[in-house]
Amino acid sequence: MENLNESRELIVINQLPIIEEQLAQAKLMIDERTSAALEGTCTEENYKAVKSLRAALNKEKKELDARYKAVMEEVTAPLKIVQNKYKECVSGYVEADSILKNRINMVENEIKSRKEKEAREYFDEIAASENLGDYISFEDVGIKVTMAASRKSLRTAIDEYTARVICDLAMIKSQDNADEILVEYKRTLNASEAILTVQNRRRAIAEERRRREEERERIEQEQLRRYEM
Q: What pLDDT digit, counting tens, does each position of 38-68 carry?
A: 888 888 888 898 899 889 899 988 988 888 8
* 109-167: pLDDT as tens digits: 999 999 999 999 999 999 999 999 899 999 999 999 999 999 999 999 999 999 999 99
Cα distances (Å, whole numbers) of residue 229 to 96, 206, 219, 223, 225: 104, 35, 16, 10, 6
- Max CA distance (Å), the chain: 124
- The pTM (predicted TM-score) of the whole model is 0.59
Q: How far apart are CA 171 and CA 193, in angstroms?
A: 13
Tens digits of residue pLDDT in 12-30: 334 456 777 777 888 888 8
Residue-wise burial string across 58-78, b where 16 or more C-beta atoms lie within 10 A, e elsewhere? eeeeeeeeeeeeeeeeeeeee
